[in-house]
Amino acid sequence: MICVGAIGGAYGVRGEVRLKSFTAEAEAIAEYAPLTTGDGAMEFDMTLTRIIKNGLAARLSGVSTKEQADALKGVKLFVPRDRLPELPDDEYYYSDLVGLEVRDTGGTVLGTVKSVQNHGATDLLEIQSPGLSTTVLLPFTHAVVPTVDMSTGRIVADPPEGLF
C-alpha cells in the first residue's frame, strides 16, 4: 500500500475535508479512489470540490458532518501499488527504493536504503551501513547514484569522499 494523501480535518460545516495530496499533481489523487486507511478499516470514494490554500477540499463517501470530518484529522490515505502508473526510465517511487542494497562502484557493500527524504533541494537516500550506528544521507542524483537496478535490487553509488 502506498500513501497518497492525508486528511487535515474538516473544511466547512457540511462534511468536506481538507486534504493534502502526495501525488505529483495534487488533483490526481481523485483518480486513485477508492482510498483506504492504513489499517484497511475504512474505504472512501472521493470527489474533489475545490483547491484551497495548502491543499484540496474534498467530499468522502460516508462523511456528511463536520464532526465526522474532524474525527478523520491526521488519517493517511492509501492505494495498492498496482494502481499507480508506470514511471519512465530513471524515475522511481520512494517505496520501491527502500530496502535496496547500496554498493560503491568497486562492489563494496555500503548498506541498505532505509528511507528516501526530500528537504527541498534534492532527494536523499538514508543509508543504514552495517558498521555504523547512525545512518548516512546520500544525495540521489545521477552523479552520485549512476545506477539503480530494480531487477537485482541493487543501487550502485559513487559517494563523495569521506561520506562513508
Determine whether 74 is exposed, middle or buried from the number of CB atoms within 10 Å of its CB (0-12, 13-18, 19+).
exposed
Domain that holds residue 150: 94-157
pLDDT digits (tens, 9 = 90+) for 93-145: 888 899 999 999 888 899 999 999 887 788 899 999 887 788 999 999 889 99
Say whether both 119 and 144 belong to one domain.
yes
How many domains does the structure of the chain reveal? 2
CA distance 76 to 110: 33
Band the pLDDT of 73: cuts 50, 70, 90.
very high
% pLDDT > 70, the chain: 100
Q: Which residue's entry shows cell 495534487?
A: 26
C-alpha of 161 from chain center? 30
Q: What CATH number corresponds to the domain at position 63?
A: 2.40.30.60
Q: Are 42 and 36 in contact (CB under 8 A)?
A: yes
> Quick one: DSSP state of residue 41?
S
Domain boundary among 83, 102, 132: 83
Using DSSP bridges, classify how beta strands 123-128 and 109-118 pair: parallel, antiparallel or unpaired.
antiparallel
pLDDT higher than 80, residue 11: yes
The predicted structure's pLDDT at residue 17: 94
The predicted structure's pLDDT at residue 33: 86
Residue 89 maps to a domain = no
Q: pLDDT averaged over the chain?
A: 89
Residue 164 maps to a domain = no
The predicted structure's pLDDT at residue 32: 87
Say whether both 25 and 79 belong to one domain.
yes
Say whether both 72 and 98 belong to one domain.
no
